[in-house]
Structure 1
């Protein structure tokens, strides 16, 4: 199935394996379809949760920094060879910062399903459309599935 999420400008997404992107997109679709059957209050609660969700860039920086600190701590306790771990982590974070993606991002995304900020925002916009924040989404026409699909399309445009 062709994905509704056509974010070619997203470096992380464009370099991630298709199955990882598809798994993330399917999770969003399931959520939006479920939320299409919920009331405004439930959608608002879930939107608050999305506001706190970490994106891939934040997760990579925290994970890389934690590994670098661990390498320095181990080097202090057990000898200097562990500094290599910190150097590798710093290098991976530098690569991610310069080009917008890298092996660390691919790992975090594949294992944890961590999304890009744009992917999180697309889900938020779709849910806001369902909640009635925008005029382009039908209120009662076609049922929850039609409303969910219209919200996903509106979020993309």
Structure 2
């Protein structure tokens, strides 16, 4: 008998460990942004630049983990060896996140609206679709909500 370990896929593992309310709030924010930019296409370029600078959940976790490991190591070396437990604990959380998509800071980050790379890319590609980067989409300009739905659908494919 074989026991196969299954791990959540990379693209959805964080969302699977995020509350439905936080996921809905993040999705609503994406939809609102795309709807807004469908009415204000002249602001799409600026929003795309903002998205390029946005940090995703992984980058936030890497930053927190790096700071905690460095701080714990320095404190362990120069103050008290017991501080070396901090880098070990952080290492366990990072490993847990890599495997499961969850670790202690994830719920707080998601509650603050920190998005996954895929969520950021969904907004980015929907805006590019509205801008016409991928050719014409959906109904004409007079039916903006339908164009938004088509842009979001194309971005999520």
TM range, smaller chain: 0.7 to 0.9
**Is 1:11 aligned to residue 13 of structure 2?**
yes
- Structure 2 partner of 1:3: none
| CA deviation after TM superposition for structure 1 residue 43, in Å | 0.3
SS in 1 for 2:39: coil
Q: How many residues align?
A: 148
Structure 2: distance between partners of 1:156 and 1:137: 15
| CA distance in structure 1 between the aligned counterparts of 2:46 and 2:138, rounded to whole angstroms | 20
1:123 corresponds in structure 2 to: 123
1:52 paired residue number? 53
8 Å Cα contact 1:12/1:101 also seen in 2:
yes
Q: Give TM-score scaled by structure 2 length.
A: 0.82
Partner of 1:26: 28
How far, CA to CA, are the matches of 1:68 and 1:21 in structure 2?
A: 29
Question: Unpaired runs of 5+ in structure 1?
Answer: 1-6
Structure 1 residue 9 displacement after superposition = 5.1
TM-superposition CA deviations, 1:28-68 (whole Å, max 9, x none):
1111111111134x201211221222221121111111111
Distance 1:47 1:13, change over 3 A: same
- Normalised TM-score (structure 1): 0.82
8 Å CA contact 1:129–1:137 kept in 2: the answer is no
What is the 5 A alignment of 1:31-42? 31-40=33-42, 42=43
For the aligned residues, what is the CA RMSD?
2.2
Conservation of the 8 A alpha-carbon contact between 2:137 and 2:147: no
> Which residue pairs with 1:86 in the alignment?
87
Match of 2:77 in 1: 76
Q: Which runs of 5+ in 2 are unaligned?
A: 1-8
* Divergent runs of 4+, >3 A: 98-101
